[in-house]
Amino acid sequence: MIAFPNCKINLGLHILNKRGDGFHNLETIFYPIPLNDALEIIPSNSLNEIAYSSSGNKVEGNEEDNLCLKAYRLLKKDFPNLSNIKLHLHKVIPSGAGLGGGSANAAFTLLLLNKKFNLNLSTAQLLNYAVQLGSDCPFFILNKPCLATGRGEVLTEINLNLSAYSFVLVNPKIHVNTGWAFSQILPTQPLKSIAAIINQPMDSWKSELVNDFEKPVVEKYPEIKGIKEQLYKQGAIYVSMSGSGSTVFGIFEKGVQFQFAFPQHYFVKWL
């Protein structure tokens, strides 16, 4: 059985305060974007619980930290008769790029296992498993535009349809450490909520819809500022960094003509 985990962008991101558990309360809007990995799971007669393989972009980190494998083992605790599997991940979404690719892979592993092996888990149950894997993972269970609060796991579906626009994703192949990014933020209460700003005309977003991570990341990696400037120069209505970076996205009217001049090693995708 095959699924195609997609990525997300953040429309605005406010870091509100630090919690007693060490996490931060935040406010953001997660919006799904059709840039996809491919994930295949089939039953296996092997003595090993999981025969894992990957292709495409390199999957960073040790195998024991792989969120797909963690998702399988999380379900295995409650479903000890869950079949051994072969799991193959073809990676297209850049890793460590603020697009949530790893979180999407984990959530889609839960969804695939639930469907393939008839576990009959409800959406609420899947969300509970997903939050144990990471703050962004529950979003990909719903996979619809959502206002996210708490540490990103408290989700409220919103009516936001950007299908009339085109998107450009630009990743300069810079890995931004999320822990470092959080350490650079002085949490503050914004004057206006992201939920309010998103309902305004899009041409107001440029001055009001802010990702708090962007300022410190741009100071350390000025290439990101250059990407933003070029996208605006090419006619984007709104440009922002996604998550803690380093991917920058631009929202364009459909049919806009453009001519980018990014370095060859950049990942650039028009959607």
Closest by Cα among 14, 123, 96, 106 to 68: 106
CA atoms within 13 A on the CB side of 74: 25
Contacts of 157 (CB under 8 A, 6+ apart): 142, 144, 145, 146
Structure tokens that stand for 169 in this block:
């994703």
**CATH topology assigned to domain 2-157:** Ribosomal Protein S5; domain 2 (3.30.230)
* Predicted pLDDT at 47: 84
Instruction: For residue 30, give the nearest of 249, 271, 268, 267 by alpha carbon.
Output: 249
Catalytic (active site) residue 65: no
pLDDT tens readout for residues 88-138: 999 999 988 999 999 999 999 999 999 999 999 999 999 999 999 999 999
Is there a catalytic annotation at residue 8? yes
List phi, psi (to 5°) of 246. Answer: -105, 10
Q: The tokens of 19 are what?
A: 């919690």
Distances (CA, A) of 189 to 26, 85, 108, 186: 10, 47, 34, 10
Task: Find the mean pLDDT for residues 159-170.
Answer: 96
Catalytic residue among 136, 212, 228, 269: 136
β-strands 165-171, 267-270: how paired? antiparallel
pTM, 2 dp: 0.94
CA 121 to the chain's CA centroid: 23
**What confidence tens digit (pLDDT) does each residue in 177-235 have?**
888 998 899 888 888 999 999 999 999 999 999 999 999 999 999 999 999 999 999 99
Segment 28-87, tens digit of pLDDT: 999 999 999 999 999 998 888 999 999 998 887 777 789 999 999 999 999 999 999 999
- Beta-bridge mates of residue 87: 41, 52
Q: Which CATH architecture has domain 165-270?
A: 2-Layer Sandwich (3.30)
Residues of the chain with CATH 3.30.230.10: 2-157
Q: Give the pLDDT of residue 62.
A: 77
Q: Which amino acid is at 193?
A: S
pLDDT of residue 88: 97
